[in-house]
Amino acid sequence: MNIYVGNLPFNLGEEDLREIFEEYGEVSSAKIISDKFSGRSKGFGFIEMDNDDQANNAIKELNNAEVGGRNIKVNESKPRENNRGGDRRGGFQRRDRY
């Protein structure tokens, strides 16, 4: 299961995040999303756990838990939806002006 973790402290590292979730089971991967220009954490990340029961327990126990003075948000990650507007091809709609 892929798990979204939001409202993370900006100084939290990926190993720290992994350790928090390892208390609930085996973690396949831990990734904190960083700004591509500054390299600074964006304050959210993803955890992947192979065992769904352990993942659901981690979500239940850690959602709204305090980490580094912040209450983190934890839930199952859902695929991104394209909410950019425009037509279904992802571009702008062309208006003919003849």
**What is the pLDDT tens value at each position of the chain, 98 positions in all?**
999 999 999 999 999 999 999 999 999 999 999 999 999 999 999 999 999 999 999 999 999 999 999 999 999 998 877 765 555 555 555 566 65
Three-state SS at 81:
coil
Q: Which two tokens stand for residue 58?
A: 């981690």
At residue 79, the pLDDT reads: 82
**Model pTM score:** 0.80
Contact 34, 40 (CB under 8 A): yes
Q: Which two tokens stand for residue 65?
A: 């838990």
Domains annotated for the chain, with CATH where assigned, are 2-76 (3.30.70.330)
At residue 86, the pLDDT reads: 52
At residue 45, the pLDDT reads: 98
